[in-house]
Amino acid sequence: MSNLKEIRNRIASVSSTMQITSAMKMVSAAKLKKATDAILQMRPYSNKLTELIKNLNNSFEKMEDNPYAVIRSTNKTLIIAITSNRGLCGAFNSSIIKVVKEIQNDKNENDVSIMSIGKKGTDILSKGNNLNSSHDAIYDNLTHNTVSKIADSIMLDFENGKFDKVKIIYNRFKNAATQIVTIESFLPIVSNENQEEETAIIDYIFEPSKDEIMKNLLPKALRIQLLKALKDSLASEHGARMTAMHKATDNAKELRDQLKLSYNKARQASITNEILEIVGGAEALKN
């Protein structure tokens, strides 16, 4: 009977876990729809703006004319590692941390600092790593204004020479089951070298002036780029959690079915033993 009681307790425990994972899956599915709509609407604008900036960068006669396109010989790199504030989303966070550590161990990267966005990344990267800063609370209010403050501080550090390169590492959303770890150059702005030679330089007409437009457009483009990466990561997080909770629910259901089968077999064996004892006792009374 003790064995049957133990199996019943395990069945109840697994069933409770299955209810929790199923509920978390539905919550993530609801959040995923909103996050997916946001990033899919933003991507075309962000991509076109980035393309425009790279094309405009080709029009500068000297690289020094654009403070965000200066390529320095030194090698002080800032990595913006974007993770989540919560777990239970499979390899979503560990894949980002793995890439960050690979860059830190790269012999070509001499001085690497880390800016962490997300509690899960901060908790791990703060141990024995050169953590420059963290912005974990940004997910509580992910707006253009809050992201702009972070982007502006990064641009200021780059202008002042605190960092020579800035890279963003995040999960790019493809679909609910697939998130692609992406390393994206943030600063310096690199010219669009992939275009064909005849279309590489586009003759723009500037009004009021090239310097005035670039002064306002460049910071805006960089802010949008960081905001897009964060929204991409947020959509990927919900997709990864929904997939992880779906798998966890299926595994819990399979385990519960196996436990029920074991319970029925043990119960049947117990009933058979009781019948045999009764029959044996009746035969003993006859004799």
What residues does each domain of the chain span? 21-244
H-helix or E-strand spanning residue 24 = helix 2-58
Instruction: Count the Cβ atoms, other than its own, within 10 Å of residue 123.
Output: 16
Tell me, what's the pLDDT at 195?
46
The neighbouring-strand residues paired with 168 are 80, 184
Distance CA 275, CA 282 (A): 11
Q: Provide the pLDDT confidence category of residue 236 given band limits of 50, 70 and 90.
A: very high
Residue 187 three-state SS: strand
User: In the predicted model, is pLDDT for residue 193 greater than 60?
Assistant: no
Distance CA 194, CA 36 (A): 29
Alpha-carbon distances, residue 41 vs 44, 227, 277 (angstroms): 7, 13, 73
Distance CA 195, CA 54 (A): 11
Tell me, what's the pLDDT at 199?
44
Regarding predicted confidence, which is higher, 4 or 35? 35
The residue among 89, 59, 95 whose CA lies nearest residue 189 is 59
Active-site residue (options: 89, 112, 169, 252): 89
Tell me, what's the pLDDT at 198?
41
Distance CA 241, CA 238 (A): 5
Q: Provide the pLDDT confidence category of residue 104 given band limits of 50, 70 and 90.
A: confident
User: In the predicted model, is pLDDT for residue 36 greater than 50?
Assistant: yes
Q: Domain 21-244: give its CATH architecture.
A: 3-Layer(aba) Sandwich (3.40)
The residue among 144, 146, 157, 192 whose CA lies nearest residue 47 is 192
Q: Does the annotation count 89 as an active-site position?
A: yes
Residue 200 three-state SS: helix
User: In the predicted model, is pLDDT for residue 121 greater than 90?
Assistant: yes
Listed range (1-5, 70-74, 214-218, 231-235) with the worst mean pLDDT: 1-5
